[in-house]
């Protein structure tokens, strides 16, 4: 799956960003927007920044009913989605109202993929919650909450892309001989997606370099096929 970056949905710059580490992440919280499923991500950001007074859109990621995934604050930033529980939890919002409507299989597959990715990057299982389990709210709606409670009993099925080795952001990645490999390469491959990088095998080969070039071009940053500090930062990794 491919994560639609902020630049592709016209995100406003964040007023401020607070970062955390994977070592502090312990949970994964599912939300719904409680509104029209055709609402744009930019409209959600505008409301949360202008009406709520938040520094940015509140969620780390958002998902549409067709399975499209959008980058919100990203993997490394602290969100604003569960009061008192933002640092330790990644927040994912399914756009739409799921009080009585059951979410689509495409949307649920996208949420599960994000969770499996988070588990791979954290290197351990995270606890899955519906928003209402952590605060007084109807979110994520009865139908979505019921699914989360059932899904929680199922163990993660996606293995880490490359067990062990350097963690994301700890080194510069490039096409080299011998090939660079590790969890950090797997992170890049999964973040950019198989359509551009090929299978997430944790090995930095020509296909991965091509995916990095595509991502850098799309983000409007230096295009060199090398994952250095600027590219890492654009992928939400700050160390």
Question: What mean pLDDT is predicted for residues 191-210?
Answer: 86
With a pLDDT cut of 70, the percent of the chain lying above it is: 93
Q: Cα–Cα distance between 188 and 208 in angstroms, integer?
A: 8
pLDDT band at 160 (very low <50, low <70, confident <90, very high): very low
Please give the biggest Cα pair distance in the chain: 55
Q: Are residues 201 and 87 in the same domain?
A: no
Question: What mean pLDDT is predicted for residues 95-114?
Answer: 90
Return mean pLDDT, the chain.
88
Question: What mean pLDDT is predicted for residues 73-92?
Answer: 95
Q: Are residues 98 and 68 in the same domain?
A: yes
- For residue 161, pLDDT over 60 is answered with no
Of 123, 151, 179, the position where a domain reaches its end is: 151
Q: Tell me the pLDDT tens digit for each residue of 45-64.
A: 999 999 999 999 999 999 99
Asked which of 55-69, 162-176, 181-195 is least confident by mean pLDDT, the reply is 162-176
What CATH number is attached to the domain comprising 45? 3.40.80.10
The per-residue DSSP string of the chain comes to --EEPGGGGTPPPPS---B--GGG--EEEEEE--S-TT--HHHHHHHHHHTS--SS-S-SEEE-TTS-EEESS-SSB--SSSTT-TTTEEEEEESS--SSSPPPHHHHHHHHHHHHHHHHHHTS--EEEEGGGTSSS-TT-HHHHHHHHHHTTSPP-SPPSS-SSSPTTSS-B---SSPPBSHHHHHHHHHH-HHHH-S--SB--HHHHHHHHHHHHHHTS--SS-B-HHHHHHTT---
Q: Are residues 143 and 180 in the same domain?
A: no
- For residue 208, pLDDT over 90 is answered with yes
* pLDDT in the model for residue 73: 94
Alpha carbon 133 to chain centroid distance? 21
User: What domain range is 48 assigned to?
Assistant: 3-151
Q: Tell me the pLDDT tens digit for each residue of 148-159.
A: 998 887 665 444
Q: Are residues 128 and 194 in the same domain?
A: no
Question: What mean pLDDT is predicted for residues 12-28?
Answer: 92
Q: Are residues 92 and 201 in the same domain?
A: no
Q: Are residues 145 and 164 in the same domain?
A: no
What CATH number is attached to the domain comprising 179? 1.10.101.10
* pLDDT in the model for residue 61: 96
Question: What mean pLDDT is predicted for residues 123-127?
Answer: 88
Most trustworthy range by pLDDT among 39-48, 69-78, 108-117: 39-48
With a pLDDT cut of 90, the percent of the chain lying above it is: 58
Q: Are residues 16 and 122 in the same domain?
A: yes
Q: Are residues 170 and 129 in the same domain?
A: no
| Of 170 and 40, more confident | 40
Per the structure, the count of domains in the chain is 2
Structure tokens at 60: 């780390």
- For residue 70, pLDDT over 50 is answered with yes
Q: Are residues 169 and 129 in the same domain?
A: no
Q: Are residues 164 and 48 in the same domain?
A: no
Q: Tell me the pLDDT tens digit for each residue of 216-233.
A: 988 889 999 999 999 988
What residues does 227 pair with on adjacent strands? 173
Q: Are residues 78 and 131 in the same domain?
A: yes
Of 122, 151, 180, the position where a domain reaches its end is: 151
Of 151, 178, 212, the position where a domain reaches its end is: 151
Q: Are residues 113 and 181 in the same domain?
A: no
| Of 81 and 22, more confident | 81
């Amino acid at each position: 799956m491919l994560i639609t970056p902020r630049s592709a949905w016209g995100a406003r710059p964040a007023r401020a960003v607070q970062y955390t580490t994977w070592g502090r992440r312990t949970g994964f919280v599912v939300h719904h927007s409680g509104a029209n499923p055709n609402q744009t991500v930019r409209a959600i950001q505008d409301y949360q920044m202008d009406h709520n007074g938040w520094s940015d859109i509140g969620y780390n990621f958002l998902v549409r009913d067709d399975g499209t995934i959008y980058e919100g604050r990203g993997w490394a930033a602290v969100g604003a989605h569960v009061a008192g529980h933002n640092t330790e939890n990644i927040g994912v919002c399914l756009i739409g109202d799921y009080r009585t409507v059951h979410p689509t299989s495409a949307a649920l597959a996208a949420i599960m993929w994000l969770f499996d990715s988070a588990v791979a990057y954290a290197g351990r299982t995270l606890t899955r919650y519906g928003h209402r389990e952590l605060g007084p709210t109807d979110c994520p709606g009865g139908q979505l909450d019921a699914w989360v409670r059932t899904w929680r009993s199922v163990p993660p099925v996606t293995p880490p892309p490359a067990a062990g080795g350097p963690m994301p952001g700890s080194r510069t990645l490039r096409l080299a001989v011998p090939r660079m490999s590790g969890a950090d390469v797997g992170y890049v491959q999964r973040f950019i997606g198989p359509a551009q990088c090929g299978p997430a095998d944790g090995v930095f080969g020509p296909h991965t370099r091509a995916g990095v070039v595509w991502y850098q071009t799309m983000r409007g940053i230096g295009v060199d096929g090398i994952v250095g500090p600027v590219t890492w930062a654009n992928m939400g990794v700050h160390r």
